[in-house]
Amino acid sequence: MRVGILTGGGDCPGLNAVIRAIVRKGERHYGDELLGFIDGWRGVMDGEFMELDVEGLRGTLPRGGTILGTSRIQPYMFPDGVERIRATIEREQLDAIVAIGGEGTLSCTAELHRDGLPVIGVPKTIDNDIGITERTFGFDTAVSIATEAIDRLHTTAESHNRVMVIEVMGRHVGHIATWSGIAGGATMTLIPEEAFDIEDVCAALARRHERGKYASIVVVAEGAKPVPGTIEIPADEYDQYGHIRLGGIGNLVASEIEHRTGFETRVTVLGHVQRGGSPTPFDRVLSTWYGVAAIDAVHDEAWGQMVAYVADEVIRVPIADAVAELKPVNPQLWSVAREFFA
Ligand code: F6P
């Protein structure tokens, strides 16, 4: 078979490991020819790609980012987008395209399947918010980086008796915040799933500090929202694809804490550090598992399916079902996190 691969949306540690695994099993086991499109669906529309083979992918397993490049450009943004995809598939005599992406890329892939194209999905995102699958690769790496940052903030916070606010990624859901908050022993964690009342946050910190000379760590997911009317938030800004540009809630929370409690407070916005660099062993394994499962799905012509990690197995589920709803933080785990607040 001739199989195209693309990576779309924000990059994520483990993308190269997925590409490597697809190429390895595709070439060595099935005798496939593989090509990688540049910058996600943009490269498919423009017919821009590179040939991929096992030799050329040596050394990519631990490498962060994506050797193919990525973008948030999608065919449905253009009147002739789908026709351009069909033309590339025909011209390059492709039997399938494997799209590795998050919510945006996979939603578009599900639509292309409805439009009759031979596509397979692989879920990626450090946010871990894709439905059905219990894990997306990149999440474990992001949690490790955030946890290490929290560990480091503890020692400087303790030396100065300060409140440290750390803003982590998590656009719509607070998986990274919840996991790193528990792993790092946060005093409090704020996530998008539950609006926070800044008065309650400050009162809890004050109670804790009354019990002794304590430092505190407050983990804030970038998409966390205050209870309406409690804090004035600046108007949303949007990027060129219509996504809200997040970042800023950490600074807001820190200044409210300092203002309302008088505790000296500092902010760390972890940002894209969480998405860069080498994947953890877990993410390397999951990415490799997904890649092998994806090329098997191609050979079974399981069009419109996404590989998913469920109950310690990689299975196939319809992409459309996986993107129907974002996966929130497990309520049981959230109640574990709450046990340790303040
Ligand atoms: O969706 C993954 C993600 O890392 C989010 O957590 C974050 O809000 C967003 O991407 C950042 O996007 P960009 O790289 O375009 O700033």
Residue 64: what are its φ and ψ, rounded to 5°?
A: -70, 180
Same domain, 315 and 195: no
Same domain, 265 and 157: yes
Ligand 1 centre distance from Cα of residue 303 (Å): 28
Same domain, 270 and 185: yes
Is 233 part of a structural domain of the chain?
yes
| Cβ-Cβ contacts under 8 Å for 229 (sequence gap 6 or more) | none
- Ranges of beta strands (E only) in 200-271 are 216-221, 237-238, 244-245, 265-269
Intervals of the chain under pLDDT 50: none
- Which residues is 137 bridged to in the sheet? 124
Is ligand 1 within 6 A of the CB of residue 125? Answer: yes
State residue 176's pLDDT score. Answer: 98
Q: Which domain holds residue 267?
A: 140-275
Is ligand 1 within 6 A of the CB of residue 177? Answer: no
State residue 245's pLDDT score. Answer: 66
Ligand 1 centre distance from Cα of residue 232 (Å): 24
Is ligand 1 within 6 A of the CB of residue 70? Answer: no
State the amino acid at position 224 in one-letter form: A
Is 335 part of a structural domain of the chain?
no
Copy the structure tokens of residue 265: 């407070």
CATH number at residue 244: 3.40.50.460
State residue 246's pLDDT score. Answer: 67
- C-alpha distances (whole Å) from 169 to each of 7, 10, 113, 290 are 20, 12, 30, 24
